[in-house]
């Protein structure tokens, strides 16, 4: 496995701590922030391989942060995280450019596999549970 530099942006301090611990134990370098604007600043001055981003944050939403990342750093993959397991949230995130959308609480194996897949390296055996428009039954942006 290759060591990756990961930026995690989520307003939940306890979750940030847990994700940091999990990702660092997998050998990654991890930066965390509870604020979307701070996340954008860190991305501007850091060399991050992937961003894990909360969908619903106060101040600036995850979708808005994602749009800024797509404009300024289109090569940096973004994985959206949400506590709302709905096809609408996943569809919005993927349509805005997220590589995957994970439902919290995020499983440690699922998290590592998703990070590895986003940066183009093979993940360990197992299945990635990610929401995309096909698996969510979405057809051309419309629910069933």
Number of structural domains in the chain: 1
Supply the pTM of this predicted model: 0.82
Q: Is 56 inside a domain boundary?
A: yes
Share of the chain above pLDDT 90, in %: 66
Q: Is 133 inside a domain boundary?
A: no
- pLDDT tens across 41-93, in order? 999 998 999 999 999 999 999 999 999 999 999 999 999 999 987 788 889 99
Q: Is 135 inside a domain boundary?
A: no
Q: Is 19 inside a domain boundary?
A: yes
- pLDDT tens across 12-29, in order? 999 999 999 999 999 999
Q: Is 22 inside a domain boundary?
A: yes
Q: Is 63 inside a domain boundary?
A: yes
Q: Which of 24, 21, 33, 25 is nearest to 5 (CA)?
A: 24
Q: What CATH number does residue 78 fall under?
A: 3.40.50.2300
Name all contacts of 127-132 with Cβ < 8 Å and 24+ positions apart: 128/100, 129/102, 129/103, 130/100, 130/101, 130/102, 131/87, 131/90, 131/93, 131/94, 131/100, 131/101, 131/103, 132/90, 132/94, 132/100
Q: How far apart are CA 99 and CA 118, in angstroms?
A: 7
pLDDT over 80 at 136, yes or no = no
Q: Is 132 inside a domain boundary?
A: no
Domain of residue 10: give its range: 5-118
């Amino acid at each position: 496995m290759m060591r990756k530099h990961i930026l995690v942006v989520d307003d939940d301090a306890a979750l940030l701590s847990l994700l940091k611990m999990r990702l660092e134990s997998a050998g990654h370098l991890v930066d965390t922030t509870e604020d979307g604007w701070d996340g954008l600043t860190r991305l501007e001055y850091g060399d991050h391989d992937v961003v894990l981003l909360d969908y619903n944050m106060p101040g600036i939403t995850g979708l808005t942060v994602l749009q800024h990342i797509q404009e300024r750093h289109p090569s940096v993959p973004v994985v959206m995280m949400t506590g709302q397991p709905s096809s609408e949230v996943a569809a919005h995130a993927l349509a805005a450019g997220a590589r995957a959308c994970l439902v919290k609480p995020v499983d440690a194996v699922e998290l590592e596999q998703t990070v590895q897949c986003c940066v183009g390296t093979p993940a360990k055996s197992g299945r990635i549970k990610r929401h995309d428009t096909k698996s969510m039954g979405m057809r051309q942006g419309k629910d069933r």
